[in-house]
Amino acid sequence: MKAECGCRCLSHGKGKYGISCRMDSLGKDVVLLIGGGQKPHAGCVVICEPDQASGKVTTSVHTFTTHREEAVARPVAEAVCRKTGARVVCVCGIHVEKAGKKDIELLVKNTQELGRRILKCF
């Protein structure tokens, strides 16, 4: 990461649609904590490891019951892994009460934009 302290925070979106990420390093590995909405929490854990020989990324995901954060966390974690060649652990939890289709679309859009901003840090 470009930040000297090894830890950096970014956010995108406002109010209950705001998404934030804390990025940190653990040796050569990268840790991402992505949360947002009205009740940030641990909804899923995405673990990515680069395969130097093939150039691919191996990913494992644990999603807690009834949570769907993998859809936004996995692409971000895999992109960081590909770009850095480091192992990446991403914990993600985003929650808005009684979210409808439009709410979910905006949260996904904000998370994708935050993902683009995260990649610029590496």
CA distances from 107 to 18, 82, 94, 101 (A): 8, 24, 8, 10
pLDDT in tens, 104-115: 999 999 999 999
How far is the C-alpha of 98 from the C-alpha of 94, rounded, in Å?
13
pTM, rounded to two decimals? 0.91
Q: Give yes or no for a contact between 69 and 62, defined as CB atoms under 8 angstroms apart.
A: no
Asked if residue 12 lies in contact with residue 113, where contact means CB atoms within 8 angstroms, the answer is yes
Flag residues of the chain having pLDDT under 50.
1-5
Domains and CATH numbers, the chain: 11-119 (3.30.230.100)
* Spatial CA neighbour of 37 closest among 63, 67, 8, 57: 67
pLDDT attached to residue 6: 58
